[in-house]
Structure 1
Amino acid sequence: MPTATHTTPASTTVLTEPQWQRRPVAHEQRVDGWTQGYLDRRRDGVPHPVEDFLFRYYSQRPAQFRQWHPGFGTTLVGATDHLALKGYADLGAGQVGVDIEHVRSQQRLVRTVRTLLVATAQRPAQLGCFGLHEWAMVYRLDADEVRHAAWPLRLGSAGTDAVVEQHRIRCTHFDAFRFFTEPARPLNVLQPARDDRPDFEQPGCLHAGMDLYKHAFRLSPMVPSELVADCFSLAREIRELDMRASPYDLSELGFEPVAIETAEGKQAYVEAQADFARRGAPLRAVLIAWCDRLLEAAADA
């Protein structure tokens, strides 16, 4: 599998067919390695609580993920097939690229994404939440009511509830908090809402790290697909920790638990959380740089 690229904005580039034709092939091969299992399971009706999340929770379909985009400012000679894709235009001289008019039409989205990314990047990483959001999502529910009811709770319902009650819950991410059970909501010391995400999100949050993938694909085709794939790769690893630290027993799937109810488990979680925050920082910075470039280009057009 190709290594991460963290593609940064560059000045306008023209790529000849021999120069660009290998990139979509490499991207498709990389993405197929992630999506094929999901597509097979979807066909067979066999969901996977870890591997399927990024495809079910986020709105980008596998076929969209597989489509390669060079990003705004890179024009392709002979790429006439891209003219059928949203956001592209014939730029003359046999060149095809993302149209500046499309960039201008997406300014509200770009500004919104940039505001959230910058606010998140400017805060120190808050570590030590121990993934209790997943526990709060099943708090005081019967075993057959939980989201992943096919998988047992490691400590049972009563034991899971006790862990929630014995810890201070400080979830900063609205899209996690909104799935808390009603009895769990008052236990969170913060009350993030849909419209105040920039006031709460911080780089230590696992969901903020996974959301880098969402921000990247929402900016497609204006950002390179390699960057979207880099963000997905990180999100996939984060999701694994998210569920290993959850109350579910997924050892049958090969995921050994991070027992956050123990001192050893807490230490392992914080170390992994810090590493993901460190690895997410350059991706967030590249996305911010792309937002800046897109805003500048639209203003100059």
Structure 2
Amino acid sequence: MTAALAPAVLDAAAWGARRRAHEERVDGWLTPHLARRRRGEKHPVEDFLFTYYSYRPAQLRRWHPGAGVVLREADPADFGPDYQALPAGVTLDTDEVRARRADSVRWITTLLAATAGRPAHLGCFGMHEWAMVYRQTQQEVRHNAWPLRLTPERTAAVVEERGVRCSHFDAYRFFTVPARPLNVLRPTRETQHAQEQPGCLHANMDLYKWAYKLSPLVPSELVADCFALAGQIRTLDMRASPYDLADLGYPPVRVETVDGRHEYVQAQREFAERAGVLRARLLAAIPAA
């Protein structure tokens, strides 16, 4: 976390352009999702960030400048109750927000820093998604509108042959009961700070969650950057899963093969590097207590 700096002052043209750019960017994600929702359609890849995470579309679209920014010619009512009018312009009441959410901010920033301080482990090969369907029939699996690439028996055999090395509690909790003993770890919410590591796809996807939970202390552009990365990670997650989503335009990463595992690790490494940059930006954006 950084020491407090002099506030940045944005005139109406500057902050208005930033707000419009953010809204247009987010609309590119929201428009197809909301259209599917109106039609009663579900998409296992593109809807995930809207259904799994609690941030509503309207919240994602709403622009916040982040802490330490003064907006000239602005109305605090346009930004919400956390904003105050000063002689120089409108700004976030950072001290009040930070004090009200002190425990949450501390928990998140401690997790981000702990994760950033560890080496990335890249040997899971996406088996967490396979453990979520382990020993289930086609009718029992979570996304049962789409077929599995392999038979349930062959899917189970892949899990047993490869083993499971999942360090992420929110993935582990969706494992089937018979899959849980196959995992080398027993992640819990209480051990999350000690076990989360920067190679984990789900830990890097969750940067979106931590970004919006830190909002409005962090700028909305950073929340959107985390959302964008999470969407790309979700694509790899499902391409490497046991589901056959080729008809939706997602060719499989066949992690049951040597070539598929190599492809997965290469993408996982790239995501870890990009997530590391975002993790650092989130930590830097939080004002010192």
Q: How does the TM-score come out when normalised to structure 1?
A: 0.92
Deviation string for 1:25-60 (max 9, x for gaps)?
000000000111111111111100000011101110
Match of 1:96 among 80, 90, 95: 90
1:5 aligned residue:
none
Equivalent position amino acid for 1:112 in 2: W
* Structure 1 residue 240, shift from structure 2 partner: 0.2
Query: Residue type matched to 1:93 in 2?
Result: P
Map 1:30-45 onto structure 2 (within 5 A).
Answer: 30-45=25-40
Letter in 1 for 2:203: A
Aligned to 1:167: 162
Letter in 2 for 1:141: Q
Letter in 2 for 1:130: F
Distance 2:220 2:264 in 1: 30
Q: Which residue of 2 aligns with 1:137?
A: 132
Map of 2:202 onto structure 1: 207
Aligned match of 1:184: 179
Preserved contact between residue 167 and residue 197 of structure 2 (Cα < 8 Å): yes
Which residue of structure 1 aligns with residue 122 of structure 2? 127
Q: 1:279 aligns with which of 274, 280, 283?
A: 274
Q: Deviations over 1:101-147 (max 9, x none)?
A: 12221221111111100110111000020110000001111110100
Question: Which position in structure 1 is the counterpart of 2:260?
Answer: 265
What secondary structure is seen at the aligned counterpart in 1 of 2:164?
Answer: coil
Partner SS state of residue 276, structure 2: helix
Q: Distance in 1 between matches of 2:77 and 2:269?
A: 40
Native 8 Å contact 2:76 2:83 kept in 1: no
2:192 maps to which of 178, 192, 197? 197
- Give the C-alpha shift of residue 64 in structure 1: 0.4
Rounded Cα–Cα distance in structure 1 between residues aligned with 2:272 and 2:157: 29
Name the CA distance, whole Å, in 2 between partners of 1:132 and 1:13: 46
3-state SS of paired residue (1:241) = helix
Q: Look up the SS of the partner of 1:257 in the other structure.
A: coil
User: How far apart, in 2, do the equivalents of 1:131 and 1:103 lie?
Assistant: 37
Secondary structure of 1:145 counterpart? coil
* AA of the residue aligned to 1:134: E
Q: Could you list the runs of 4 or more consecutive aligned residues of structure 1 that deviate by over 6 angstroms after TM superposition? A: none
Q: Distance in 2 between matches of 1:165 and 1:268?
A: 21
Supply the distance in 1 between the matched residues of 2:185 and 2:49 (Cα, whole angstroms).
26
**How many Å separate the matches in 1 of 2:233 and 2:24?**
22
Q: How does 1:214-225 map to 2 (within 5 A)?
A: 214-225=209-220
**What TM-score do you get using the length of structure 2 for normalisation?**
0.96
Alpha-carbon distance in structure 2 between the residues aligned to 1:286 and 1:30: 20
User: Structure 1, residues 148-203: CA drift from partner, whole Å, max 9, x if none?
Assistant: 00000000211111111111211000000000000000000000001210111000
Aligned-partner SS, 1:195: coil
Q: 1:55 aligns with which of 28, 45, 50?
A: 50
Provide the rounded CA distance (Å) in 1 between the counterparts of 2:106 and 2:78: 26
How far apart, in 2, do the equivalents of 1:13 and 1:107 lie? 24
Q: Note the C-alpha offset of 1:94.
A: 5.9
> What count of residue pairs does the alignment treat as equivalent?
285
Which runs of 5 or more structure 1 residues have no equivalent in the other structure?
1-8
Distance 2:79 2:147 in 1: 47
Name the CA distance, whole Å, in 1 between partners of 2:173 and 2:13: 48
2:41 aligned partner:
46
Secondary structure in 2 matching 1:288: helix
**Structure 1 residue 10: Cα displacement:** 5.8
Amino acid at match of 2:45: V
CA contact (8 A) 1:82 1:96 kept: no
Asked if structure 1 preserves the Cα contact closer than 8 Å seen for 2:76 and 2:90, the reply is: no
